[in-house]
Amino acid sequence: MKVDVLLGLQWGDEGKGKIVDVLTPKYDIISRFQGGPNAGHTLEFNNIKHVLHTIPSGIFRDDKINLIGNGVVIDPVIFHNEIQGIKELGIDLKNTLFISKKAHLILPTHRIIDAASEAAKGKSKIGSTLKGIGPTYMDKTGRNGLRIGDIETKFEEKYSKLVEKHKEMLSKFYEYEYELEEYEQEWLKGIETIKEFQLIDSENFIDNSLKQDKSILAEGAQGTLLDIDFGSYPFVTSSNTVCAGACTGLGVAPNKIGEVFGIFKAYCTRVGMGPFPTELFDEDGQKLRDNGNEYGSTTGRPRRCGWLDLVSLKYSIMINGVSQLIMMKSDVLDDFDTIKIATAYKVNGKIVDHVPYEMTEDIEPIYTELKGWNKDMTKMSDKSEFPKEYLDYIKFIEENTGVSIKVVSVGPNRQQTIEI
Ligand code: GDP
Ligand code: IMO
Ligand code: MG
């Protein structure tokens, strides 16, 4: 067996949580491989709407193992709250949620440094979710981080040493007032919650599971255009969100990767700062935001909205080796007479069909206009019901990317998903 990977091809929030939940019945194990509680993955079914931040989106299906891989960073406070929220829905994860000992911990001081760093950047801030993601990955690559496995030995000593270092940094480099004690108490409570779960060497667990013919789905967080190497740097997150991140974030060899599901919205959104070539500032942009309820699942911030961008989509498909496309939220376009798709950029007066080195603000998108379908598609359940203009929209994307769209989503609910 191989590990299938599902990941976002845009700037996050493509609908990964919903589709992982839909695909989970086909798998034995669902695993997160990178990111942390900057993610907000929404699932809707049976009148329940639930947002997950750290825990994989396979937890609402019986008998499935969910794994938090070594590439993930964990905030014990957020983790504790998530576990409590799930418990309230009558689900006990004690025997089905595993955590890699090599996953790194987000300390209370990482959150403070994140906030202090953003405040110091002023207008050029990244628009971070302020969950401490950047500083935690900095400590990981700087070889100072605390890992889940450290909870088991001399933890207090290691924790205090790192906190002292952070305090020194804060006093030297930032003028930032902060309060530590209250969050620290909650954080230590969260550590106790983590101890209740199975802390494992996840790379060996995955290897053994594959040998036993178990099927595994790796769930990405954020999106390809937020990748630390290939995203719109420096307006990115601090982990590899691309398919290769599943190899390093779980300990899976590249030749053990199977299908790569690339998920994208039928238009584009971005939350936080940074370039966005097809962003709309007019009433169409507002209509996308209203129809799509485009407000952040983690921070509640309004998402910036714009037309679908095939230039960056093709780039994301290339980097990830996407084998199947999944198109989300096409219902948001149900009442548009005309829909635009960017097929090239004008950069410094020249037409280009690739993502330039810097995705600067002055890229002008070149659009192709397509006729809208003007039909409520939210109750449709089969391809035979699709309007001609909708099939044309799909065909246009498939012809331009060279990859088939296998699933479309026409609403937030589990049921509003159509295989084609
Ligand atoms: P994720 O981070 O990729 O899991 O996506 P989010 O959960 O942050 O954002 C996606 C939002 O769109 C959530 O509120 C979902 O409930 C919602 N959603 C998912 N699929 C669809 C769809 O096909 N149509 C509509 N209208 N909403 C959707
Ligand atoms: P999901 O998994 C959308 C954005 C932030 C900011 C930048 C860096 O729900 O798709 P960070 O907190 O990581 O340092 O922020 O990345 N960002 C996301 N945007 N969806 C996400 O996750 C995001 N996680 C981070 O808004 O611009
Ligand atoms: Mg999200």
Q: Which residue has the tokens 């719109």?
A: 232
Q: Is the separation of the CB atoms in 320 and 260 below 8 Å?
A: yes
Radius of gyration of the chain (CA): 21
Mutate to test the pocket of ligand 2, among 7, 14, 38, 55 (most ligand atoms within 8 A of CB): 38
pLDDT tens for each residue of 72-124: 999 999 999 999 999 999 999 999 999 999 999 999 999 999 999 999 999 99
DSSP lists the bridge partners of residue 83 as none
Write out the residues surrounding ion ligand 3, Cβ under 5 A: 13, 40, 297
Ligand 2 mutation pick, 237, 294, 299, max ligand atoms within 8 A of CB: 237
> What tokens were used for 99?
């955590």
* CB-count burial class (<10 Å; 0-12, 13-18, 19+) for 181: exposed
Position 267, amino acid: Y
Q: Tell me, what DSSP letter sits at residue 61?
A: S
Using CB distances shorter than 6 Å, the residues near ligand 1 are: 8, 12-18, 39-42, 44, 292, 297, 328-329, 331-332, 409-412
Measured by CA distance, the residue closest to atom 17 of ligand 1 is 412
Give the ligand at the shortest distance from the Cα of 136: 2
Residue 166 CB neighbour total at 10 angstroms? 19
68 within 8 A of 74, measured Cβ to Cβ: yes
Digit-coded pLDDT (tens) for 359-406? 876 899 999 999 999 999 999 999 999 999 999 999 999 999 999 999
pTM of the model: 0.97
State how far the Cα of 272 lies from the Cα of 261, in Å rounded to an integer: 25
pLDDT in tens, 320-371: 999 999 999 999 999 999 999 999 999 988 999 999 998 876 899 999 999 9
Is the pLDDT at 190 greater than 90? The verdict is: yes
Q: Is the pLDDT of residue 8 over 90?
A: yes
Residue 182's pLDDT is what? 93
pLDDT digits (tens, 9 = 90+) for 265-317: 999 999 999 999 999 999 999 999 999 999 987 778 899 999 999 999 999 99
The encoded tokens of residue 195 equal 């101890």
CB of 134 shorter than 6 A to ligand 2? yes
Indicate whether residue 127 lines ligand 2 (CB < 6 A).
Answer: yes
Measured by CA distance, the residue closest to atom 12 of ligand 1 is: 15
Question: Which atom of ligand 1 is nearest the CA belonging to 20?
Answer: 4
Ligand nearest to the CA of 15: 1
Residue 227 CA to ligand 3 centre (angstroms): 15
Query: Is residue 30 scored above 80 in pLDDT?
Result: yes
Query: What is the structure's pLDDT at 297?
Result: 75
Does any ligand 2 atom lie closer than 6 A to the CB of residue 9?
A: no
- Mean pLDDT of all residues in 188-212: 97
The per-residue b/e assignment along 387-410, b for 16 or more CB within 10 angstroms, e otherwise, is beebeebbebbeeebebebebbbb
Residue 83 structure tokens:
């576990």
Quick one: which ligand is closest to 263's CA?
Answer: 1
Q: Cite the active site residues.
A: 13, 41
Q: How far is CA 240 from CA 35, 182, 294, 413, in A?
A: 8, 32, 25, 29
Across all residues in the chain, what is the average pLDDT? 96
